[in-house]
Structure 1
Amino acid sequence: MYLRKSLSKCLFGSDIGLADLTVDQIRILRLAICLSTCFICAIALAWPLAYLSPMLLCSLIGSPKKPLALKSGIGLLMLIFLAFFPFVLMGFIIPRWPGVSALLLIIGFYYIFYLKAVGKLPELAAVLFLVGITIMPLMALTQPELSLSFTLGFLFSAFIAVVSAWLSFLVFPDPKGCSYNEAVKPKNNLQKHEAQVKALTSTIAITPLALIFYSNNLIEASLVFAFVAILMQNPDIGTNLKAGAGLLLGNLLGGIISYMIFVFLKSTPTLPFFAFLMLLSLLLLGQRIFSEHKFSGLYSASLSTVILLLGSVTGSAGGDFEEKFLSRMVQLFCASTYVVLSLIVLKGLLRKKALKYLARFEATS
């Protein structure tokens, strides 16, 4: 209670209760306090794949979405656990039957993108499936004995994210009657066809990269591969120049913010000071994300980059911190550039066929 009042007085200029805050102010506090707490706990405790917890939590509370119920979240984790087995198995059969494995991978990517596009797969489930299909085969190819431990570590980190999201909405509940960003489910054949086109576009775009990663066992850059797959959920980036530029600028802004945090952290490399930097940074970012600011979408896109960069770099041991940071930043920017350019190229190749189908559909309707 004291923390709430202190933050309210600092941020909003008066000592007001939680019930007196607007929905945007509540979301700012929820994002800053809960995400920074999860992030610092992941860094301090450093369980296997700990950096995934704040990344997944970011997708759950980083935008105006309906709260994820704890029961639904646990059921989702059970589904992911059952779905990971085929991905692990795929890593073992790739060396023996590369052609069959490539076909299975393409089908897997397509159905994940399609089910997400038609609204039958929640966003968190889609992210988890994409991380699984990108990383698990690579893990099985390079370190088969660690596949099970990776799966358990991944599921534990996802469980922490789900519980953290549930607690965050419990401590900072949205006011009654507030609106949420809900996925629109297709209601007719035309919308389903559009979802199929989007899924096919994303699948074609990511297939060459997937084949390169799997054939060369690039496990060191697997996180970047997963990042590309997650970005591929929105193929409209390739049909909208503004959206594509926003993705690149958002990742660049996230890199700049992360590097500024890193510079301040170098002066006082202690965990309490790091916690203060994260809380302050997320408060400032949250004020932009949950606002009517014209660049709110840009700040929202930068949030995941900040968490991904700082989490993956600080969560790994050994090596020079600055060197790893700059290397990861270059990888993420190259990944974003690949997403935008590949989708733009596919836009020109598929546009004529899509227009022909739409014209035929309108003529028969």
Structure 2
Amino acid sequence: MSTSIKAKVSARPASFISTLYADVNAMRILRFAFGVTVACALAYGINWPLAFLMPVFTALLLAMPLPKPSVKASLNNMMSTLQAFALGLAFSLFFLQYPIAYLITLALVLFHLYYYLNRGGSFWFTLMSMIAILVLPMIANSNEGLAIGFSAGFVYSSWLTIAMLWLAHFVFPDPSFTQFPVKPKYTNRYSKVAAQLALKSTLVTFPIAAVFITFGLSDYLLVMIFSAIFILKPDLTQGKEAGRNSLLSTLLGGVFAWFFYWLIVAVPQFYFYLLLLLATTLFFGRHIFSGTNMSKYYSSGFIALLVIINSAMAADSNFNAILAQRIFLISGAIIYIVCALKVLERFFFTTK
């Protein structure tokens, strides 16, 4: 073989790699598959409390067309998570023993969180705070120590997620020419529109949160959580669309989860689970970053797949019952927000 031929053969792999690293979608797909697979390997290999949250958060963030988080942004997100669960623990350990004061404070905090988000505030802080103030009191009703342990596991998993994002972006970086969506700026000035939207969201979320937490309806916790999230944009059309998208995504994720579950039951080996997960993330990643109308369903559908598989892997679990229950709870949340918004828009927020 001549020297020129050898040079051409050796140049092909280098050329392929350089072309691959210059492809924005290829980098995002590979980063998504790599990050989620490694996150699951660590989470289920070490298995600390609430370890399954790290793959869920990793998949949620890597499915977005976002740049590598800066050191400042990473530290801000870490502190936001800590502050959110400190707020949730304050509710659980101090206010919960005074029911009237607790309900008044809950309404005020919900309003300020929605108001903060509608003025361009951090979605991550708002989401973490919503989960903390709604979930921790339900846990603290039965065991205060369990609420503290839940908070520690949640914060630990979210911090490890940030480390996983850095690792995934280091291995599969974005090309230098990549265009990212512009983040809206946060404004400290009073906004009447943001206040009205926050009030509407609070009037929908507060009644169901007050009833569920007061009576300890932990079996239907997801209805409360989904209602609070679906109503982030308190528009009847957008609320229905968010609920419908979540339901369709759950059905999509449930179909793939069914095949995934029975394959790991047939071959109950950890390495096979990781290989199957890698293939699944590559498939979902390709559709998530395809830019089609179905992309949003695949993004949420993969989160549903992870959650359903994690629940199904518990002892004495029933896969079909878990999937049916999740669909039922999401449907309940959709029905509630649609009815609540119709009442509010009919009697309180009528347009002239």
Class of the TM-score when normalised by the shorter of the 2 chains: 0.7 to 0.9
Q: 1:239·1:343 contact (CA, 8 Å) conserved in 2?
A: no
Aligned counterpart, 2:212: 213
Report the structure number with the largest CA radius of gyration: 2
* Aligned-partner residue type, residue 104 of structure 1: T
Partners of 2:240 and 2:154 in 1: how far apart?
A: 35
Aligned counterpart, 1:287: 286
Aligned counterpart, 1:45: 46
Deviates more, 1:71-80 or 1:294-303: 71-80
2:149 corresponds to 1:154: no
1:267-320 deviation digits (Å, cap 9, x = unpaired): 111111111111111111111110132311221221221222223443xx4323
Write the mapping of 1:256-295 to structure 2, written as runs, cut at 5 A.
256-295=255-294
Q: 1:238·1:340 contact (CA, 8 Å) conserved in 2?
A: no
Q: 1:138·1:214 contact (CA, 8 Å) conserved in 2?
A: yes
2:111 corresponds to 1:110: yes
Aligned counterpart, 2:167: 167
SS at match of 1:17: helix
* Aligned-partner residue type, residue 174 of structure 1: D
Q: 1:255·1:306 contact (CA, 8 Å) conserved in 2?
A: yes
1:341 corresponds to which of 324, 335, 346 = 335
SS at match of 1:142: coil
SS at match of 1:43: helix
* Aligned-partner residue type, residue 153 of structure 2: G
Structure 1 residues 193 and 307: alpha-carbon distance in aligned structure 2, compared to 1, 3 A threshold: farther
Partners of 2:302 and 2:79 in 1: how far apart?
A: 28
Aligned counterpart, 2:137: 137
In the TM superposition, residue 19 of structure 1 has moved relative to its aligned partner by 5.2
Deviates more, 1:23-32 or 1:72-81: 72-81
Aligned counterpart, 1:75: 76
Q: 2:20·2:27 contact (CA, 8 Å) conserved in 1?
A: no
In the TM superposition, residue 186 of structure 1 has moved relative to its aligned partner by 7.4
Partners of 1:178 and 1:269 in 2: how far apart?
A: 41
SS at match of 1:344: helix
Structure 1 residues 243 and 216: alpha-carbon distance in aligned structure 2, compared to 1, 3 A threshold: closer
Structure 1 residues 235 and 309: alpha-carbon distance in aligned structure 2, compared to 1, 3 A threshold: farther
Number of residue pairs the alignment of both structures matches? 338
Aligned counterpart, 1:96: 97
* Aligned-partner residue type, residue 110 of structure 1: F
Aligned counterpart, 1:58: 59
Aligned counterpart, 1:3: none
Partners of 2:274 and 2:280 in 1: how far apart?
A: 10
Tell me the TM-score normalized by structure 2. Answer: 0.84
Gaps of 5+ in 2: 1-12
Partners of 1:309 and 1:236 in 2: how far apart?
A: 29
Q: 1:119·1:185 contact (CA, 8 Å) conserved in 2?
A: yes
Aligned counterpart, 2:320: 326
In the TM superposition, residue 236 of structure 1 has moved relative to its aligned partner by 4.1
Deviates more, 1:211-220 or 1:293-302: 211-220
Partners of 2:248 and 2:213 in 1: how far apart?
A: 29
2:295 corresponds to 1:303: no
Partners of 2:80 and 2:242 in 1: how far apart?
A: 32
Structure 1 residues 20 and 162: alpha-carbon distance in aligned structure 2, compared to 1, 3 A threshold: closer
What's the C-alpha RMSD, in Å, of the aligned pairs? 2.9
Structure 1 residues 80 and 246: alpha-carbon distance in aligned structure 2, compared to 1, 3 A threshold: closer
* Aligned-partner residue type, residue 150 of structure 2: F
Partners of 1:124 and 1:46 in 2: how far apart?
A: 24
Partners of 1:34 and 1:62 in 2: how far apart?
A: 10
Partners of 2:63 and 2:71 in 1: how far apart?
A: 18
* Aligned-partner residue type, residue 119 of structure 1: G
Tell me the TM-score normalized by structure 1. Answer: 0.81
Deviates more, 1:170-179 or 1:340-349: 340-349
SS at match of 1:266: helix
* Aligned-partner residue type, residue 153 of structure 1: G
2:193 corresponds to 1:199: no
2:244 corresponds to 1:250: no
Partners of 2:215 and 2:240 in 1: how far apart?
A: 33
Deviates more, 1:54-63 or 1:198-207: 198-207
In the TM superposition, residue 158 of structure 1 has moved relative to its aligned partner by 0.7
Q: 2:226·2:333 contact (CA, 8 Å) conserved in 1?
A: no
Q: 2:85·2:128 contact (CA, 8 Å) conserved in 1?
A: no
